[in-house]
Amino acid sequence: MRLIYIFTGRIIINLMARYLFLLCFFSIISSHAQVYDLRTEHLTTPLGIDAPQPRLSWKQRDSRPGAGQKAYQVWLGTDSLAVAGEKAGSGGKVNSAENLITYTRENLQPFTRYFWKVVIWDNHSGRVSSDVTSFETGLMQVSNWKGEWISDGTDIRLKPAPYFRHGFETGKKIRSARAYIAAGGLFELYINGTKIGDHMLDPNYTRFDRRILYVTHDVTRELKAGKNAIGVLLGNGWYNHQSTAVWYFDRAPWRNRPAFCMDLRITYEDGSTETISSGRNWKTALSPVIFNSIYTAEHYDARKEIGGWNLPDFNDTQWKNSVLRSAPSQNIVSQAFQPIRAVEEIPVKSLNKINDTVYVFDLGRNISGVSRITLSGPEGTEVRLKHAERLYENGRPDMSNIDAHYRPTDDSDPFQTDIFILKGEGTETFMPRFNYKGFQYVEVTASRPVQLSSNSLKGYFVHSDVAPVGKITSSDDLLNRIWWATNNSYLSNLAGYPTDCPQREKNGWTGDAHIASETGLFNFDGITVYEKWMADHRDEQQPNGVLPSIIPTGGWGYEWGNGPDWTSTIAIIPWNLYLFYGDLKPLQDNYEHMKRYVDLITQRYPSGLTSWGLGDWIPVKSKSPVELTSTAYYYTDTRILAQTAKLLGQPADHQKYTALAEKIRKVFNEKYLNRETGLYGSGLQTELAVPLFWGLVPEELRQKVADNLAQRVKADGTQMDVGLLGTKALLQALSDNGHEEVAYALAGRKTFPSWGWWITNGATTLYENWPIDAKSDISMNHIMFGEIGAWLFKAPGGIKPDPAQPGFRNVILEPRFAGGPDTFSAEHNGRYGMIRSSWEKNEKEITYRVTVPANSTATVRLPQVEGRRWYRDGVEVKGREIQVSSGTFEFKNN
Ligand code: BGC
């Protein structure tokens, strides 16, 4: 008996110990509830914010099921201690789960550092405070500029890039210093010989006569007491395009010799400020950059280097004074986005020495970017670095797929070929500053024998430095590789604006960009770049609503390619930003512009059907009617506009555009849908997939149309027969309508025509054309067929934003298992934190795991398999849809 007591006593003690342990465990977790990732205007501690009422956002980290925010309070002010101590700067507690707000208490002041923090009240631990973060406002208004616009006053055809320098003295002790610099063209800024910042190709391309970006740098550390020197090197960029190609960049209305305006604002320890500004007294001379073109290449003559040009003691009496210029535009705004950087260094994979003057380097992968060469040789040795995507059989670069639209007037500007002339002093290095290329191979030819090894050259992957927020891993290595290659092409085509390809064009092709925008947003935190690009749209739109097919543009593109299938960017991109970030601002900013665009189409095509556009570009074989695809985009824009009107509280517009959308849908279906057979047009893949994807099919016929699509794909040999617009729709239209097995078969296909066909043939990026030996349109780094990157999240991963609660406040999770790999995982680090959707499956069982971040919820839709049931933690799930709180959950199907 005693023994039994002792025994039960032990059990009780044991249980108590466990209970205590769990208690401690949860209190540790609860003390780990965190508010993190504070952003201002979607950036972390940015400098140079122009928004007088910026957007502030944060996230909550808490893995306990159901963790969420009930209320928040923001403190914001110029006194960090007062903010930290919650003494001043708050509008009070707000009962709301919002984690993205617009700061509206006051208009912020220019040139000011603000501190802010947020306290949230959650439903577990009570009050949780974030750390204090900061941001700084910039000039905010053009009238705050003190500097004058200067250039060297030479002709636009002059090739060498100009240097500028200015010496000055500081007397008092410096507390902080900021450089604000705006340029028509590109710049490199130096203070006392040190290059400032790690950005590349600043400021970014805009329609320079309508809007110029300025860049802000903290230069406190580079300034010294006493003598200082500012050095600026100006490049042409898109501002002074000297190369000639079919888009006539050289005839841009804004074209001029590069110019800049700079204010160096110093705040001294005693609180006084002084601004050193660009002006006529700044000295200028030509630099060793003897030619630079954003489009083709850069030439550098090291013999022309001017030692110490950017140092205080340099004697600049031989230099000319600068020339005063008008500002290229009166609209000078902060470049508040993730900058372009050389994000990744790519080592050489193999080197082929052809002879002692010719070497071909292979990076092993295709990138956008630059190469850096280090070598030594006699003075005057001319080294050419030719960048190509592919090689001829003889191992030499084949440029024919990328120089097709280049129209050089002489041989002084060879395509994608840097020229480096050695000064003959020891080891010398060259990397272009004002150009980037698309390439995998670099052929180095030297005018005299040189010794090179694979270490002599490095590649740099250059693109907008947007943080990765998505990840796909699966047991099917082909899908993993397709995902990686898609991201490589996406990033290769993000240079402050989305491009079609980094080599042949570097054009902001609208169609390519809206097609790839979901892929981009699932994988990268790109809102700031897209917002900048939408501002480019607003600059380019004509009063009648027309948009050009490439944005920005020097004038080309208003004539060709700018139908709704391409320029629907004006509606689709703001809408996707709204879905992914839950931020209304992109819709607000572009609302009037969408309206103008939709009204224009309505006016031009009163029937509701429009044949304006390029149609299903680069199809495998069949071309669908342009009117079908363009009308689908007209409908989509109108629907987005109607929904936006509702969100922005415009009931009359909401009604008007809802009715218009209905009309378009009606005439579209009257013309193209055969209600008997459930076929659109002649039943091609694109003809069926596009209406399904964009929601034009009458509900009662949706399944029939989808079944027809699946059948058609099978009849076509379970292979794609689509172009750009069909590719956007095909996989999702199948997966969303019970034919995911067919979608998986297409996605996993390794033979022509497929993504797998490219990958099996060695692609590390996506191509522009399905046949790898196509005779034209065969850039090897195009994002246009990149929808598959989004599909991996939306169908296998099943992660979709919920339009009713955007920004993943509620996540839709509807994974597609049938026909998929044995294991699959999709992760998206969204506005609320990390969403995970992963599964394992075998003949008998599917295990599906989801993680829903704190302060958000999910609607889980579990596909039904005949004869099987779904269980959550052992309890049977009734129905096919369940709502879950935040936390990690496991479902089993057997
Ligand atoms: C580009 C495409 C673009 C197309 C428009 C091509 O030259 O590279 O990606 O969308 O033109 O037709």
In tens, the pLDDT along 616-637 reads: 999 999 999 999 999 999 999 9
pLDDT at 53 over 90: yes
Residue 777 is predicted with a pLDDT of: 83
Residue 711 is predicted with a pLDDT of: 98
Alpha-carbon gap, residue 749 to 770, rounded angstroms: 13
Beta-sheet pairing, 417-421 with 382-388: antiparallel
32 — pLDDT class (breaks 50, 70, 90): low
Give burial (CB, 10 Å; 0-12/13-18/19+) of 622.
middle
pLDDT at 74 over 60: yes
Matching residue, tokens 């572009």: 590
Residue 12 is predicted with a pLDDT of: 44
Q: What is the mean pLDDT of residues 431-446?
A: 98
pLDDT at 371 over 80: yes
Residue 345 is predicted with a pLDDT of: 98
pLDDT tens digits along 630-675: 999 999 999 999 999 999 999 999 999 999 999 999 999 999 999 9
Beta-sheet pairing, 417-421 with 298-301: parallel
223 lines ligand 1 (CB under 6 A): no
Q: Which helix (H) or strand (E) holds 852?
A: strand 846-852
What DSSP string runs through 356-392?
A: TTEEEEEEEEEEEEEEEEEE---TT-EEEEEEESEE-
Contact 191, 219 (CB under 8 A): yes
Q: Which letter, b or e, does each residue of 441-462 get, where b requires 16 or more Cβ atoms within 10 Å of its Cβ?
A: bbbbbbeeebebeeebbbbbbb
Ligand 1 atom with the smallest distance to the CA of 614 is 12
pLDDT at 27 over 50: no
Q: What is the mean pLDDT of residues 571-597?
A: 98
Q: What is the DSSP letter of 502?
A: T
pLDDT at 822 over 90: yes
pLDDT tens digits along 238-250: 999 999 999 999 9
Ligand 1: centre distance to CA 509 (Å): 6
Q: What's the pTM? A: 0.95
512 lines ligand 1 (CB under 6 A): yes
Residue 88 is predicted with a pLDDT of: 87
865 — pLDDT class (breaks 50, 70, 90): confident
Alpha-carbon gap, residue 267 to 489, rounded angstroms: 44
Task: Take residue 680 and report the two structure tokens written for it.
Answer: 């659109």
Ligand 1 atom with the smallest distance to the CA of 784 is 9
Residue 889 is predicted with a pLDDT of: 95
Residue 686 CA to its chain's centroid (Å): 27
509 lines ligand 1 (CB under 6 A): yes
Ligand 1 atom with the smallest distance to the CA of 779 is 8
Q: What is the mean pLDDT of residues 141-153?
A: 97
616 lines ligand 1 (CB under 6 A): no
538 — pLDDT class (breaks 50, 70, 90): very high
Residue 17 is predicted with a pLDDT of: 44
30 — pLDDT class (breaks 50, 70, 90): very low
Give burial (CB, 10 Å; 0-12/13-18/19+) of 66.
middle
pLDDT at 124 over 90: no
Ligand 1: centre distance to CA 504 (Å): 10
What type of residue sits at position 161?
Answer: A
Ligand 1: centre distance to CA 515 (Å): 12
Ligand 1: centre distance to CA 796 (Å): 29
Probe ligand 1: pick from 389, 503, 506, 507, max atoms within 8 Å of CB? Answer: 507
Ligand 1 atom with the smallest distance to the CA of 510 is 10
Ligand 1: centre distance to CA 254 (Å): 24
Ligand 1 atom with the smallest distance to the CA of 405 is 7
List strands edge to edge, sheet with 857-861: 799-801, 810-813, 857-861, 881-884
Ligand 1: centre distance to CA 206 (Å): 20
511 lines ligand 1 (CB under 6 A): yes
Ligand 1: centre distance to CA 414 (Å): 23
Residue 350, beta-bridge partner list: 362
345-354, 680-689, 773-782: segment of lowest average pLDDT: 773-782
pLDDT at 19 over 60: no
Alpha-carbon gap, residue 150 to 144, rounded angstroms: 17
Residue 2 is predicted with a pLDDT of: 42
pLDDT tens digits along 500-528: 999 999 999 999 999 999 999 999 999 99
556 lines ligand 1 (CB under 6 A): no
Residue 436 is predicted with a pLDDT of: 98
247 lines ligand 1 (CB under 6 A): no
Alpha-carbon gap, residue 452 to 339, rounded angstroms: 33
Angle 724-735/702-715 helices, nearest 10 degrees?
Answer: 120
Q: What is the mean pLDDT of residues 836-845?
A: 96
Q: Which of 418, 370, 430, 417 is nearest to 200 (CA)?
A: 370
Q: Which of 674, 730, 662 is nearest to 701 (CA)?
A: 674
Task: Take residue 633 and report the two structure tokens written for it.
Answer: 């985009």
Q: Which of 435, 506, 497 is nearest to 293 (CA)?
A: 435
Question: Cβ of 119: how many Cβ atoms within 10 Å?
Answer: 17
191 lines ligand 1 (CB under 6 A): no
Residue 873 is predicted with a pLDDT of: 85
Task: Take residue 685 and report the two structure tokens written for it.
Answer: 């893949």
806 lines ligand 1 (CB under 6 A): no
500 lines ligand 1 (CB under 6 A): yes
pLDDT at 15 over 70: no
Contact 746, 718 (CB under 8 A): yes
Ligand 1: centre distance to CA 731 (Å): 22
For all residues of the chain together, what is the average pLDDT?
95
Q: 365 or 775, which is more confident? A: 365
Q: Which of 521, 465, 565, 562 is nearest to 787 (CA)?
A: 521
CA distance to 135, 219, 271, per residue, from 267 (Å): 17, 11, 6
Question: Cβ of 87: how many Cβ atoms within 10 Å?
Answer: 12
776 — pLDDT class (breaks 50, 70, 90): confident
Residue 7 is predicted with a pLDDT of: 41
What DSSP string runs through 534-591?
A: HHHHHHH--TTS---SBSS-SBTBSSSS-SHHHHTHHHHHHHHHHHHH--SHHHHHHH
